[in-house]
Structure 1
Amino acid sequence: MPEEVAISHPSPYLVLKFASAMFKAVPAALDAMQMQQVLAAAARAEELERRILSSREAAGVVVGEEALQRGLAEIRTRFASEEDFAEELARHSMDQPRLCEEIARNLRVDTVLERISTKVASISNAEVEIFYLIHHERFQLPERRTMRHILITVNEDIPENTAAQAYAKLADILGQCQSHPERFAELALRHSECPTAMQGGLLGQVQRNQLYPALDTAAFAMRPGELSAILESPLGLHILRCDNISPAGCVPLNQVRERIREQLLSVRRQNKQRAWIKSLPARKHTVAEAA
């Protein structure tokens, strides 16, 4: 029979865990309503942990020191300093050895669930293909364009960077690009005031509405190899070049087959875990808890 222990408050470790997962914050930063939600979630998780660790599948499950230290290190990253970390532990009347016990407990639960979820059938090619056909709309791609640009910024406080000076400079660069289209990347490297200059001005593949409006309108009206006129955005003045157009269409099955397989396998494992947990006997409450 599993040992029955009265629980008055959720584990401080679970409180830390759910505060981070639900609100990306440490418990001390939560307001009263957020803390109430965290405590409720932590209490449910603690009850579930007790049921899992009381199962015969949990017998003999041991957490290695390396995994334990990784868990401890991950928690430390949530705090700005070691002092903040120590203060949070003290606030919960918890020291580091106790925290390590809680982490080990949580990792044991994860290990048990992982073992349970491995006992599922693999996903067949037929299942993958059926999912692909049923959810065909998920694999549609919009039109994409591979774009480059050259940016000249404007700063009216610097004589050589006024709007007029910037326009004149970019007009000269545009003329060079028109005369020697093959030199666009070289000219971007030499003149563009954008970090993309190091990649020859490459913006990469863009979809509609990813660029500033004036740039977006021009980009999706261009043909491959075409140069834009001088365009203005909040960053400054630009020249665009369209390198390639990838039309809208569906991602081929062979490109997403393994991604679909992993997704279906993950769902199958989660369902297996839920079914197993549901089969566990409910834990009997102690007199202390009932009181």
Structure 2
Amino acid sequence: MSAIIQDNNFSRVPTELAYLSLRSALNRYQKPTAELDAHELKVILDEAHRQYQLENLILNAPEAQGVVVPEQRQQAALQEVQARYDDEQTFHDDIARNGMNIENFQQALQRELYIEAILERVGANAPAVEEHELKAYYHTNPDKFNAPEMRTVRHILITVNPDYPENTYEAARERLLNLATRLRRDLKRFEKLAHKYSECPSALQGGLIGKVLKGQLFPSLDATLFTMRENQLSGIVESEMGFHLLYCEKIHPAGNIPLVEARPKILELLQNRRRQIYQKNWIKQLQQQAANLENV
């Protein structure tokens, strides 16, 4: 196949092969086909040719009948490819160098999504993961289920903006001092006051930031939060955003994640592995059947 490509000219290559070559170049080398050297070009052309033959087997399998790809999924996939380019014109120029226009590029992309949908259908027939397999994975991989200390935190933010009298540096700090005084008399009002006064989108959830690990917040907030006791209000903390009051709502100590919490992720992992194995075995059967027909 590579013998028909001269100077990265894909004009005589079938659209599907041109598309697979472009996809391979982006995935393997993170650059369009026009920028490949001779060795890289040979690699992606060989890869595209093998993939093209395999995809034809999948498309002609009985399991392909009745498979439909939603329009929304097609549009999302097109946008994902375009996002790899600096601009839309660069994208169009590159597919043109690969012997395609936007219409047949979309057709080739639709073909790819159709194949993915067929494989999803096949994978759905894989046997379900049994409970004893899930437990065995959990107990034989203890290092995967160590949880560092986390803290559930809420905050009230008053931003600093000299253009507004109530948000000058001094005024913002004074406003938060007044809120701190009120909260020290009744900390149970934190959510209500955060909802009313905080200038962070988290105000809608009563100032809830959520469960955080050490190192996730601004350094000044992080340093304060991880020295606080549970159910404690901080003093005023300054960050790049402005002034904060932190409320350490709960401390989640480091330790092993219990099986009941780890179960959904383990189940997803093992089921995905099982689907992939089932798909690979199905493809091997297709290849074997094709080889048998050739030998008849």
Moved more, 7-16 or 76-85: 76-85
The answer for unaligned runs of 5 or more in structure 2 is 6-12, 292-296
- Equivalent position amino acid for 1:40 in 2: V
Structure 1 window deviating more from structure 2 (118-127 vs 51-60): it is: 51-60
1:271 CA displacement: 3.4
From 248, 270, 276, the equivalent of 1:242 is 248
- The 3 A distance-change label for structure 1 pair 72 and 105 is same
1:92-143 deviation digits (Å, cap 9, x = unpaired): 3324664465346535644664566456443222221111111112122222
Which one of the candidate residues 158, 175, 181 is aligned to 2:181?
Answer: 175
Identify if the C-alpha distance between structure 1 residues 62 and 84 changes in structure 2 by more than 3 Å, giving closer, same or farther: farther
**In the alignment, does 2:229 pair up with 1:223?**
yes
Shift in Å at residue 226 of structure 1? Answer: 1.1
Alignment of 1:48-59 (within 5 A): 48-51=51-54, 53-54=56-57, 58=61
**Relative to structure 1, is the Cα distance of residues 75 and 82 closer, same or farther in structure 2, using a 3 angstrom cutoff?**
farther
Q: 1:76 aligns with which of 64, 75, 78?
A: 78
Match of 1:287 in 2: none
Q: Measure the CA separation in 1 of the matches of 2:147 and 2:213.
A: 10
Q: Hey, what's the Cα distance between the residues in 2 that align with 1:153 and 1:201?
A: 14
SS of 1:209's partner is: coil
CA contact (8 A) 1:149 1:202 kept: yes
Unaligned runs of 5+ in 1: 285-291
**Cα distance in 1, alignment partners of residues 46 and 243 from structure 2:** 57
Partners in 2 of 1:54 and 1:132 — Cα distance?
Answer: 38
Distance in 2 of aligned mates of 1:143 and 1:22: 38
Q: Distance in 2 between matches of 1:217 and 1:263?
A: 35
Q: 2:251 is aligned with what amino acid?
A: I
CA contact (8 A) 1:231 1:239 kept: yes
- 1:61 matched to which residue of 2? 64
Aligned residue type for 1:144: M
Q: CA deviation at 1:241?
A: 0.9
Stretch moving more, 70-79 or 35-44: 35-44
Comparing 267-276 with 167-176, which one deviates more in the overlay? 267-276
Aligned-partner Cα distance in 2 for 1:272–1:115? 11
Indicate conservation of the 8 Å contact 2:59/2:115, yes or no. Answer: no
Please name the residue that 2:20 is paired with.
14
Task: Report whether the alignment pairs 1:186 with 2:189.
Answer: no
Moved more, 214-223 or 257-266: 257-266
Residues 220 and 239, structure 2, Cα contact 8 Å, conserved in 1: yes
Aligned length: 276
What is the TM-score when the length of structure 1 is the normalising length?
Answer: 0.74
How far is the alpha carbon of 1:71 from its aligned partner? 6.1
Displacement of 1:174: 0.9
Determine if contact 2:69/2:117 at 8 Å carries over to the other structure: no
**Counterpart code for 1:58:** A
- Answer whether contact 2:218 2:239 (CA < 8 A) is retained: yes
**Correspondent of 1:47 among 44, 50, 56:** 50
Partner Cα separation in structure 1 for residue 205 and residue 39 of structure 2: 50
Contact 1:153 1:237 in 2 (8 A): yes
Return the match for 2:268 from 255, 262, 272: 262
Farther off after superposition, 245-254 or 233-242: 245-254
Shift in Å, 1:17: 3.1
Judge conservation of contact 2:220–2:237 (CA < 8 Å) in 1.
yes
SS in 2 for 1:67: coil
Q: Distance in 1 between matches of 2:91 and 2:140?
A: 49
Counterpart residue number, 1:153: 159
Aligned-residue Cα RMSD (Å) equals 4.0
Q: What is the letter of the counterpart of residue 73 of structure 1?
A: Q
Deviation at 1:227, TM superposition (A): 0.8
Aligned sequence identity (%): 33
Matched with 2:143 is 137
Task: State the distance in 2 between where 1:220 and 1:196 align.
Answer: 20
